[in-house]
């Protein structure tokens, strides 16, 4: 299940369309889940337990750790997980850190 600020839930098709634009897709599942169920193309994996720390990293450190440019607070970001609970938490965390 997927979450974005303006639309708390997105369908898979909506996500596919969004991914054609400049959007950062963060998968907050645990690494073992990615290994077991597969990685979503063009997403980065930041387990929910690391997210708050990751979103406060120095941009250089973020790029080194996640091999991706750190999002600015105004950049479009989508979170996903398995059932939708963790992606909603991720959205709350990000918004509490000032992400719009």
Q: Report the catalytic residues.
A: 81
Distance of alpha carbon 99 from alpha carbon 76, whole angstroms: 9
* Selection from 9, 8, 85, 75 nearest residue 44 by Cα: 75
């Amino acid at each position: 299940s997927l979450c974005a600020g303006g639309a708390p839930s997105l369908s898979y098709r909506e996500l596919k369309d969004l991914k054609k634009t400049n959007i950062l897709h963060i998968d907050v599942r645990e690494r073992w889940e990615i290994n077991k169920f597969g990685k979503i193309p063009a997403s980065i994996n930041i387990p929910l337990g690391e997210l708050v720390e990751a979103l406060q990293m120095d941009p250089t450190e973020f790029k080194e750790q996640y091999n991706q440019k750190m999002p600015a607070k105004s950049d479009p970001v989508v979170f996903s997980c398995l059932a939708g609970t963790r992606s909603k938490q991720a959205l709350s965390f990000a918004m509490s850190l000032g992400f719009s």
